[in-house]
Chain A
Amino acid sequence: MALNERDTRDPRLERLYREAASEAPPAHLDAAILAAARRDVGARPRSLSTALRRWQVPVSIAAVVVVGVSLVTLMMEEGVDRLGEIGIPPVTAPADKPVSELKQAPPAAAATGAAQQQVESQARAEQEASRDDSKRAVDLGKMEATSPRTGDSAANSGMGAAAPSPAAEPFPKPLAAPPLLAQERAATAPTDTVTASRPEAASPAPGERRSTAPATDVPQPKIMARAMVAKPAASDRQPVWQGLEKEPPEKWVVRIEELIREGRTAEAEEMRAEFKRRFPDHSLGRAAK
């Protein structure tokens, strides 16, 4: 190693060379290069990554704040608009509202009132409908229970609904009425009444209407309620055997058979019971049974 070092190095020569070599670049060249170096640094002040690193956190925080405030503002505005659409006043009303704005408020308040009325009337109609159904069920039971004396108005009017007579025992109890009630309801659909009383004959079902109808369509629930009320009560219905009271039992049998053929089994059953009550000595034919 020392030999190699001696071959490639000579301290005396090197010292002599250093003393002799003293040339240097001219000053203008130094100035130009140093200026270029500064210019390059100035044109690109630090590397991009350094600058980004320095501003990363503040810019991120600022961006989050801006986006958050924008979203909250937007959501608040849209929420107020939606409440206005369905007629519910915004939750927070400014306490120091000017008088002029307060004067402009009534239409909105009226709309709100109308909507509330609509909701209330709908609820009322539903309550009435359910109450009506139960009432009709009771009435039907009552009618069936009192039917033997149909036509005998004095006896019919004197009957108490809650106290079935011993004569009613062979007949179905009021609780057994719902099948008949369902049939009745299907036969006398409330929509028919509604469409008959309203100009929009082809209007959809009430449930659909509620979702699509404008908020100002207030009368609709009332009509519905009226329609529910206007359903023919069981007591108002004509008996199946109307017109046969004076006829012989053979005609009754023929009528019962017709009803069975038409599939009106409930009415046929009802008539059969009346037949047995009126003509206990007559037996029904096989077809009528």
Chain B
Amino acid sequence: MESTTARHLPGGWQGAYCQPAMTWSAESSDEELMLHYRDGDAAAFDVLYARHRGGVYRYLLRQCREAAVAEELFQDVWMKLIRARAGYTVQARFATYLYRLAHNRWIDHFRRHRPGTVVSLDEEEGEAPFDPPDERERPQDEALDTRRQAARLMELVAELPVAQREAFLLQQEGGMSVEEVAQATGVTRETAKSRLRYAMSKLRKGMLEWR
């Protein structure tokens, strides 16, 4: 699994004062790379894309659960980033900016293909009915392999409510803090934190049998 982006600017967040360095390297921050790409350096974009391609793709894949749709949305997100490069300024961490684009694109798709569905992420704040693993299907062997544990975790993630799943995915794939999750999804910090807590709680309970 490629490393996904839990990068922070050295010396703290500089916000709009961040300027691109004269040269960049593979260790340069996302924001520096994006600024270089904005100024016409296509190679900087290659590095940036390599850092975030997997995370964005998995975020979309887990949200829409169809590979074809995920690919379409994935391409749309990156094309939007490319088109917006000339006007890019450093307002927040690049990952937040990128996943915000992905979030908006997924919401658009969700509303278009399920017009009757109200995407009220707040309504999923409450405890969703948690379906504990069936004791009869529980393998007798205590030494289950990691592969099966991972498969079970993926099942549990897929069963999470949309908002909680999104918060969890942004945290894991985007390497975001609670604040950044809130910023990317457009909710308050407390809401984002609540979603993350519920998601973690459900996953822990679901994986209890493997502990």
27 A-B residue pairs with CB within 8 Å: A7-B196, A7-B200, A7-B201, A8-B200, A10-B200, A10-B204, A12-B211, A19-B1, A20-B153, A21-B1, A22-B1, A23-B54, A23-B61, A24-B54, A25-B53, A25-B54, A25-B57, A25-B71, A29-B71, A29-B75, A30-B53, A32-B75, A33-B79, A34-B45, A37-B49, A40-B85, A46-B40
Interface residue? B207 (CB, 8 A): yes
**Is A4 located at the chain interface by the 8 A CB criterion?**
yes
A202 at the binding interface (Cβ < 8 Å): no
Question: A246 contacts the other chain (Cβ, under 8 Å)?
Answer: no
Chain A residue numbers with a CB within 8 Å of B196 are 7-8
Q: Which residues of B contact A32 (CB under 8 A)?
A: 75
Which of B78, B86, B149, B200 sits near A16, CB closer than 8 Å? B149
Encode B174-205 as 1/0 by CB contact (under 8 A) with A: 00001000000000000001001100110110
A45 CB–B CB distance under 8 Å = yes
Q: Are B46 and A8 in contact (CB under 8 A)?
A: no
A47 and B71 contacting across the interface, CB-CB below 8 Å:
no
Which of B54, B78, B173, B200 has a CB less than 8 Å from the CB of A13?
B200
Q: How far is the CB of A208 from chain B (nearest CB, A)?
A: 69
Chain A residues with CB under 8 A of B153: 13, 16-17, 20
| Distance in Å: Cβ of A164 to nearest Cβ of chain B | 103
Asked whether any CB of chain A lies closer than 8 Å to the CB of B163, the reply is: no
Shortest distance between the CB of A242 and any CB in chain B (Å): 107
Interface string of B65-82 (1 = CB under 8 A from A): 000000100110011001
Chain A residues within an 8 Å CB radius of B38: 47
A26 within 8 A of B: yes
Which residues of B are found within 8 Å of A29, using beta-carbon distances?
A: 71, 74-75
A8, A16, A25, A26: which contacts B146 (Cβ < 8 A)? A16
Interface residues on A, range: 35 or more
Residues of B within 8 A of A16 (CB): 146, 149-150, 153, 207
Assembly CA distance A7 to B83 (angstroms): 39
Determine whether the beta carbon of B42 is less than 8 Å from that of A41: yes
Closest to B177 in A: A8
DSSP majority for the B interface? Answer: helix
What residue in chain A is nearest B57 (Cβ atoms)?
A: A25
Chain A residue contacts of B82, Cβ below 8 A? 33, 36-37, 40
Assess the B57–A23 pair: CB atoms within 8 A: yes
Chain B residues with CB below 8 A from A22, complex form: 1
Q: A8-B178, A21-B58 are known contacts; what are 17 more A-B pairs with Cβ within 8 Å?
A: A8-B197, A9-B200, A10-B200, A12-B211, A13-B203, A19-B1, A21-B172, A21-B173, A24-B53, A24-B54, A25-B71, A29-B71, A29-B74, A34-B49, A38-B45, A40-B83, A41-B42
- Contact A37 B57, beta carbon cutoff 8 Å: no
Q: B151 within 8 Å of A by Cβ? A: yes
Q: Is A44 an interface residue (CB 8 A)?
A: yes
Q: Does B122 contact A (CB under 8 A)?
A: no
A18 to B2: give the CA distance in the assembly, Å.
9
Q: Does any Cβ of A come within 8 Å of B154's Cβ? A: yes
**Chain A nearest CB, measured from B178 CB (Å):** 6
Residue contact A25 to B74, C-beta cutoff 8 Å: yes
CB distance from B58 to the nearest CB of A (A): 5
Q: What is the bound-complex CA distance between A29 and B78, given in angstroms?
A: 10
B41 at the interface (CB under 8 A from A): yes
Complex Cα gap A32–B154 (Å): 29
B39 within 8 A of A: yes
The yes or no answer to A104 lying at the interface (CB within 8 A) is no
CA–CA, A29 to B49, complex, Å? 12
Contact yes or no, A47 B86, CB < 8 A = yes
Q: Is A50 an interface residue (CB 8 A)?
A: yes
A137 and B90 alpha carbons, distance in the complex (Å)? 97
Q: Would you give the shortest CB distance from B194 to chain A, in whole angstroms?
A: 9
* A14 in the interface (beta carbon within 8 A): yes
CA distance A96 to B193 in the complex (A): 95
Q: Specify which chain A residues have a CB less than 8 angstroms from the CB of B207 in the assembled complex.
A: 13, 16
B171 near A45: Cβ-Cβ < 8 Å? no
Residues from 137 to 171 in B contacting A, C-beta threshold 8 Å: 146, 149-151, 153-154, 157, 171
- Distance to closest chain A CB from B10 (angstroms): 23
| Residue on A nearest B157 in the bound complex, by CB | A17
Which residues in A have their C-beta under 8 angstroms from that of B99? Answer: none
Residue ID in chain B nearest A30 by CB atoms: B53
Closest 8 CB pairs of A and B: A20-B150, A46-B40, A8-B196, A25-B57, A41-B42, A38-B42, A37-B45, A7-B197
Chain B residues within 8 Å of A26, by CB: 71
Q: How far is the CB of A283 from chain B (nearest CB, A)?
A: 116
Closest CB in chain A relative to B51 CB, distance in Å: 13
